[in-house]
Amino acid sequence: MKTTRVTARLAGLAVGLALGVSALAVTRASAADTPQKGGDLIMLRAEQLRTLLPSQPTDNASIWPIEEVFNTLLVPKQDGSGVAPSLATSWEQSKDGLDWTFHLRHGVKFTNGQEMTSKDVKFSIEETSKPSSPFAFINAAITKVTTPDAYTVVIHTAKPFAPLPADMAIFANSIVPYDYAGMTPEAFSKKPIGTGPFMLKSWTPGVEATFERNPNYWDKGKPYLDSITFKVVADSNTRANEVQGGQAQIDEFPAFSSITALQNSGTAKIGTYASSRVDFLSINTQKKPFDNVDVRRAIASAVDKNTLVKVVLFGHGKPAGAYMSPSSWSHDPSITGYPYDLKAAKAFLAKSPVPDGFKATITVASGNSDQQTMAQIIQASLAKLGIKITIQTLDPSAAYDAKQNGNYDMGFSYDTTDIVDPDEIIRFTGSYDGGSHGLYSFYKNKEIDSWIAKAATLNDQDARQKIYFKVEKAWNEAQPLVPLFYTPELYAYASNVHDFHPFVTGNYNLADVWMSK
């Protein structure tokens, strides 16, 4: 999920004066390919780290440091095609499909010296399953966790549940020591004990947090870096400046509009990485006239996605068709959405109850220059249909609230997945009960809901894929939201940083990263 929490310009102005970058695209340093040990990496981000308790956060600013301190049983493969071993070395599903058995890695130690065993795994999963955990839904299928021996964990589900391994690779199911090693959750969240490559050294709330190398990390030889520091720099111009000035190594999420600028100078690189992110024009289908499918189709046909990609992403993305990201096997490439065609748009509108147009607002988050640009482009093209759009700016929190409560006409949202299995996101955006009322569209379709529920119980990926294609097709017909584009992930980083490559799921494994002198 990683909600549409958007950085305000106050908190993150657009991007910077004079940046520097050589080549674009998925550049990875080819020079000096042998990783070197040492180096202190500073990573700049817009948001602050809130908690290091794995069962609690919903924000990336907390999630990603948690992934450096803790391990999960499994990890997503970098390309998102499946999962790979981590704390569990192997796993299997029982014949009836109800039990999953995980075999744990031997000799893994927490940073307090205690060995990691099945007792810790059971405790960790149960913590995240508590209703107070915002990620409890991810474990909702689990009925029981048993521990036949110290190195074996069995997870029981009521119905066969194919996405389970993927769910064991999410940060929320990170393995913490049993009973938080005797600490209260509150205390543990500030002095975490994990098995991960780094451990917390110091933390100034709202300013920065430094993590140093775990000398006893079970993956011998790693990590390479001596330390990583996550520093909060709200203004994106300032972040870009700092990377160019050599004061920091990585800038999380530079603005797309800064890419051109970054390319022109030489001190930093830009990396664009495949991600699961899809951007949408959200439409509140509860409101008139948006409850009418032809009105939504008219809007979809009047949105020039190619121009949006060109102007907003500066060409670094693809116009979207199906609502599932192409990074997932559930994505149906044959769905191309509604092509930009004003004649067709007018025809759709003519069939609707409002053939001559109407008045509506687009809500954007203040300070989000991308949203404001998109709103102005869409405003201009909808005007040609007689649809008069007023742009309403709300501060990010109020804008979020308005979408949550269905108190808006149109707005912008995006989704990204936390797990490699499509189950999470196909519900999140496609189903009313998936967590965000269908990404704030409030669109209800019982058929789609039942298909999604059924697919999760199947083990055969081809069979699931067929159902998902059907879901995407029906959704495309109804067009409760307009998928705008598939968005790559963007980082700016110093040219001496190597092997930095975020996963499709957005997380990055800093244990692999090294710095040349």
Span 205-244, contacts to another protein by CB under 8 A: 205-207, 231-242, 244
Closer to another protein by Cβ: residue 178 or 340: 340
Please select the residue that binds another protein; options are 149, 401, 447, 477, rule is CB under 8 A: 401
DSSP β-bridge partners for residue 156: 99, 144
Q: What distance lies between CA 219 and its chain's CA centroid?
A: 26
Query: Is 129:142 a contact under the CB 8 Å cutoff?
Result: yes
Least separation in angstroms between CB 113 and another protein: 27
Which region among 65-73, 337-345, 394-402, 463-471 touches another protein (by CB under 8 A)? 394-402
Which residue in 22, 27, 29, 50 binds another protein (CB under 8 A)?
A: 50
Identified binder of another protein from the candidate list 65, 197, 357, 367, rule CB under 8 A: 367
Shortest CB 320 distance to another protein, Å: 19
Q: What's the CA gap between 294 and 300, in Å, rounded?
A: 10
Q: Which two tokens stand for residue 280?
A: 């949408």
Asked if 303 and 340 touch (Cβ cutoff 8 Å), the reply is: yes
**In 3D, which of 177, 153, 148 has the Cα closest to residue 165?**
153
Q: Which is nearer to another protein, 22 or 101 (CB)?
A: 22
Stretch binding another protein (CB under 8 A), from 186-194, 342-350, 458-466, 488-496: 186-194
3-state SS of the chain: helix, strand, coil percent to 5? 30, 20, 50
Among 357, 396, 422, 480, binds another protein (CB under 8 A): 396
Q: Is 342 exposed, middle or buried (0-12, 13-18, 19+ CB in 10 A)?
A: middle
Lay out the site mask for another protein across 447-486 (x = CB under 8 A, - = otherwise). ----------------------------------------
> Of the two residues 232 and 349, which places its CB atom closer to another protein in the complex?
232
By CB under 8 A, tell whether 183 contacts another protein.
no
| Sign, Cα dihedral of 491, 51, 366, 385 | positive
Applying CB under 8 A, among 29, 391, 453, 474 the residue interacting with another protein is: 391
What number of H helices and E strands is found in the chain? 15, 21
Does 59 bind another protein (CB under 8 A)? Our answer is yes
Contact flags string 7-26 toward another protein, x per CB under 8 A: -xxxx-xxxxxxxx------
Q: Which of 146, 247, 336, 450 binds another protein (CB under 8 A)?
A: 247
In terms of CB distance, is 372 or 507 closer to another protein?
372
Site size toward another protein (CB under 8 A) is 88
Alpha-carbon distance 448 to 428, whole Å? Answer: 12
Cα(61)–Cα(38) distance, rounded to whole angstroms?
24
List the interface residues with another protein, window 111-140 (CB under 8 A): 131-137
Using CB under 8 A as the binding rule, the residues of this chain from 285 to 314 that contact another protein are 307, 310-311
Q: Which two tokens stand for residue 7?
A: 């950085």
C-beta of 322 vs 425, nearer to another protein: 425
**In terms of CB distance, is 296 or 427 closer to another protein?**
427
Query: If DSSP states are collapsed to H, E and C, what string results for 497-512?
Result: EECCCCCCCCCCCHHH
Between helices 446-457 and 423-430, what is the axis angle to 10°?
A: 170
Sign, CA torsion 413/13/204/252 = positive
Q: What separation in angstroms does the CA of 260 have from each of 124, 180, 253, 254, 490? A: 45, 47, 15, 11, 13
Q: Which stretch binds another protein (CB under 8 A): 212-220, 271-279, 322-330, 375-383?
A: 375-383
Q: Does 346 bind another protein (CB under 8 A)?
A: no
Q: Beta partners for 360?
A: 389
Which of 147, 227, 257, 495 is close enough to bind another protein by CB under 8 A?
A: 257
**Within 409-438, which residues bind another protein (CB under 8 A)?**
428, 435-436
Residue choice 112, 143, 146, 264 for contact with another protein (CB under 8 A)? 264
- Please say which residue, 182 or 245, places its beta carbon nearer to another protein: 245
Non-local (6+) Cβ contacts of 129 within 8 A are 136, 139, 140, 142
In the block, tokens 């093209």 appear at 381
